[in-house]
Chains A and B, each alone.
With several copies, the nearest count.
Chain A
Amino acid sequence: MDRSSIIRTTAWLWLAATVVVLVLGFRQAIFVAPMEATMGNLQRIFYYHVPHAILGLVFPYINVAASLAFLYWRRRDPLKALSADALAVASAEVTVLFAGICLASGMLWGKPAWGIWWAWDARLTTELILWLLYVSYLLLRRFSPTGQTGVLSAVLAVFAAIDVPIIYMSIHWWRTQHPAPVFGGGADSGVDPAMMPAFLLNLAGWAMWGLLLIGFRFALERRRQLAEQEAALLAIEASLETPQ
């Protein structure tokens, strides 16, 4: 088997595994996990909301790693740099998606739980700023002149990645309406152990889904880059045939 068909098979297998995990997670979350005491069934959004929130914070680091790699390889090995750039776009887009879903699910949760769609509390603001940062990253990619997109956006990615922890620190002392951290928080933190399987399954499932999306988007971007190179090569070769 050649390389591309191996990749394709892996992708399909990965997709199948993702679906299985997500379905199991769905069963656990909706039918198996115990009902929460105060919020009732509403709490089940938790199994979707929190994984997206956590993953939305992980993917930016893929983005900045790829961006730094791009900057490093830019002059040394342009081909590798192009792959890094593709990975950077892919992870940025998936970040926007996941942070967006976290925002949306949180808002859907907030309306019945708090009676309002939105509150300017630390967690929510943080997440919103994260989302805004990566939207602005994507906008910069669209606005920047051809040929400079990679460099400019890579630099912005570094700035954005530095900003993420700063946001967390700076907003930590702000008034808050959002539930305090359940994991690794104070003494009485932690969820009912019966909820754990549902949560972990969903976390794993969405992580796999996110990686799959990144991989898919990466492949797409690579294909676009290759097509562009091809066209450029054609342009050069076509001219070489013209009599001198």
Chain B
Amino acid sequence: MKYARYVLDHLKKDLRLEWRSRDSINGMLFFVLLVVVVFAIAFDPASYPTMARQISGGILWVGLLFASMTALNQSWTREQRNQVLEAQRMAPSPASALFVGKALANMIFVLLVEVVLGPIFIVFFNLHVLGNAWLLALILPLGTWALVVNGTFFAALGLRARNRELLLPLILLPLSLPAVLMMVQATSGVITGDLDPIQIRTWITQLAGFDIIYTTVCVLFFETVLNAE
């Protein structure tokens, strides 16, 4: 119970910081839009509509991956400026509450981005979802959490490294590859309507499993990472 209150404090603080600057989320929205445009120009979905459908799942997730990586890096930079992080380390509240609060805040941001992005994406890539579109409402949050929880963790891990910004993708990408595979397969499956529901179910279950396992591990090890020297 007290733990939840700590988490809430951290979450509120993060949301407030974000609200103060606000433009970081605007920037992220615009960034994702740009990524979609870049991909569209690079891959030319208009001339190959079936191909567009096949690769759109991949493009969506790769775009979100890049966008959220930038945001994740940012979110810890704030803590590091002025060595606030040391104040956090000196605080008696459980370290993992800080982590959970921040992961939740990040999750909220990325979900917001997705809500705005979805329609644009569908329009730009001229997609008709052939499968059961509702499933996407399950796949997107699960996939996002998979990215966000690991991303928040490893952004913290890389905090004191010299090339922080570059380090995060380097650790996060290989680690998330299985999750990316699941998300992309499930999403493409829904969009193309090619996969049968059972297979999609399998992907989703696996994704949920991935989320649970990694969330547990992250929470368990966060204190160690925070106090690593």
- Do A and B come from the same complex? yes
B-binding residues in A (CB < 8 A): 71, 107, 116-121, 125, 128-129, 132-133, 135-136, 139-140, 142-145, 147-148, 151-152, 155-156, 158-160, 162-163, 166-167, 169-171, 173-175, 177
**Alpha-carbon distance between A155 and B26 when the two chains are bound, in angstroms:** 22
Q: Is the CB of A151 within 8 A of B224?
A: yes
Q: Chain A residues with Cβ under 8 A from B141's Cβ?
A: none
Q: Is the CB of A117 within 8 A of B126?
A: yes
Q: Is the CB of A148 within 8 A of B228?
A: yes
Determine the main DSSP class of B at the interface with A: helix
In the complex, the 10 A-B pairs of residues with the closest C-beta atoms, listed nearest first: A151-B228, A132-B174, A120-B46, A148-B228, A143-B161, A117-B123, A170-B178, A133-B174, A145-B160, A167-B178
Known pairs A118-B124, A170-B206, A175-B47; list 9 more (Cβ under 8 Å): A133-B174, A136-B30, A136-B171, A143-B163, A147-B229, A152-B157, A166-B178, A166-B206, A170-B178
B225 contacts chain A at the CB level, 8 A cutoff: yes
Sorting the interface of chain B by its residue count into under 10, 10 to 19, 20 to 34 or 35 or more gives 35 or more
Q: Is the CB of A132 within 8 A of B37?
A: yes
Which residue of A71, A162, A173 is within 8 Å of B214 (Cβ)?
A162
A-binding residues in B (CB < 8 A): 23, 26-27, 30, 33-34, 37, 40-41, 44-47, 123-124, 126, 150, 157-158, 160-163, 167, 170-171, 173-175, 177-178, 181-182, 199, 202, 206, 209-210, 213-214, 217, 221, 224-225, 228-229
**Alpha-carbon distance between A120 and B51 when the two chains are bound, in angstroms:** 15
19 of the cross-chain contacts (CB-CB < 8 Å) are A118-B126, A119-B46, A120-B40, A120-B41, A125-B41, A128-B37, A136-B174, A139-B27, A143-B163, A148-B228, A151-B225, A152-B228, A155-B224, A158-B221, A159-B217, A160-B175, A163-B178, A166-B206, A170-B210
**Alpha-carbon distance between A173 and B164 when the two chains are bound, in angstroms:** 36
Q: Chain A residues with Cβ under 8 A from B202's Cβ?
A: 173
Q: Chain A residues with Cβ under 8 A from B213's Cβ?
A: 162, 166
A143 with B217, Cβ < 8 A, contacts A118-B123, A118-B124, A163-B178 known: no
Q: Chain A residues with Cβ under 8 A from B150's Cβ?
A: 159
**Alpha-carbon distance between A152 and B224 when the two chains are bound, in angstroms:** 8
Determine the main DSSP class of A at the interface with B: helix
Which residue of B30, B160, B173, B221 is within 8 Å of A155 (Cβ)?
B221
Q: Chain A residues with Cβ under 8 A from B177's Cβ?
A: 129, 132, 167
Q: Chain A residues with Cβ under 8 A from B26's Cβ?
A: 139, 142
